[in-house]
A = this chain, B = another copy of it.
Amino acid sequence: MRANHKRSKTPAYYTASIAYDRRLAKYDIAGSVAHARMLAKQGIISEKDAELIIMGLVAIRQEIEQGQFPFKEELEDIHMNIEARLFEKAGDVAGKLHTARSRNDQVAVDVRLFLKDAIKDSARGIRGLQEALLKQAEANRDALMPGYTHLQRAQPILFAHHMLAYFHMLQRDMGRFQDCLRRVDMLPLGSGALAGVPYLVDREFLAKELGFARISENSMDAVADRDFIAEYQATAAITMMHLSRLCEELILWSTEEFGFIKLSNEYTTGSSIMPQKRNPDMAELARGKTGRVYGNLIGILTLLKGLPLTYNRDLQEDKEGLFDTVDTMVSSLEACGGMVESLTVNRDKLAKAAGEGYILATDLADYLVSKGVPFRQAHGQVKALVEYAMECGKSLRELSLPEYQRFSPKFDAGVYEITPQSAVEARDVPGGTSPKQVQRALAQAKRILEEQGGR
């Protein structure tokens, strides 16, 4: 949620972040609980003090969960809101919690914990869409359709092959999020304001308590670093780009002109003025939301440009864009998942389009190659043949053998055996669109999903 800045003379509203960083409350409390526990373990505060602090924090967590926490803008951020409340709950002992830490390493912990969860949500969203794509691919596994380059019909393909192309894009996104996670999964606590802390803290214990894989190696870097946000934003931008490509196709395929699919009613809306309309609004929104995620990426990169070490208040601006990207991308993945899952394929229309026009021209050239003609020469002969056919207004199938042979003596009756189906079957290389290859690819995709634990 972006804060709605009210305009006033007093600048408090300008620096306050509580309108959005309250979302970090549960992470902030988890971090503080672990910190208190560690302080006691190390003898920096007493066990009793730690207990009082932790009891207070747990009570505050409940208040927040129940929507009863009195957030105050004048306390500016979530950390100060919680600390102030802790004083109310636990008394002066609350003042010991901030021993051996700073807001600088505290907020870094919070955002990292948040992002670890966000990456889980992102992965779940990706998986959901992958499942929907796979379901459609399997449900229409023998459906032919035209494959496009330059949005011109190019060669026949299997609809399932097209769906799997998106499956693989998303699989790369998954990989990128996992790689990003490795860099997020590092505890900054113990870095203090910038230089480390003059207490015998146990950072490995903190990491274990909070579920981090390792601890940061340089305190100045730890409080100044927001790479992990930039990396998440970049990864999300690529994922949204993928969704924009998918949605562009769904929008095209839903036009009267293409007519390849019908989106379910849940994913279309009507018009305030035109009674006949069924608009693919969800797909358009997902495509449009790509812009905001790109924008958030530029936002964080601009923010970090030229910042000297270590913490600068500019960094406060890292969070709203992050929250917005997480929400936008995860909800877009979910919307696309539902949209793909519930769409209906018009197989007849697809099959018809796969056979029209001159879509088999490449196969004619390859046919000539099989008769010994060098590819470039074959390509030239078929190009001339197609131009001739266009002029006559005939399809390839309607040309007579003598007509064929006018362009190459190598043509024989075999040309009539070239069909969309045969064209698809011929592309029987790993990664190709032949039914056999696609079958194998479907099995592999299912395996991938299973290994990832399903939905």
Contacts and interface: CB of A to CB of B under 8 A. Distances in A.
Contacts of A353: 256-257
Interface in A1-28: 1-5, 7, 9-11, 13-15
B4 A193 contact: no
Interface stretch (A61-69, A305-313, A398-406): A305-313
Contact of A99 (B92, B204, B375): B375
Interface residues of A, number: 194
Interface string A179-199: 100110000001111111111
A48 B385 CA distance: 30
Contact of A152 (B164, B172, B277): B277
A431 B237 contact: no
A93 interface: yes
Contacts of A183: 172, 175-176
Contacts of A82: none
Nearest to A249: B308
A73 interface: no
Contact of A154 (B193, B257, B314): B193
Interface in A202-259: 203-204, 215-225, 227, 230-231, 234-235, 237-238, 241, 244-245, 247-249, 251-252, 254-258
A231 B238 contact: yes
A326 to B, nearest CB: 9
20 contacts: A4-B327, A7-B330, A94-B376, A99-B369, A149-B271, A152-B280, A154-B194, A164-B218, A199-B429, A203-B430, A219-B431, A245-B307, A248-B308, A256-B356, A257-B258, A276-B383, A279-B313, A285-B316, A288-B313, A291-B301
Given A14-B332, A149-B277, 4 more contacts: A1-B2, A193-B271, A198-B363, A297-B301
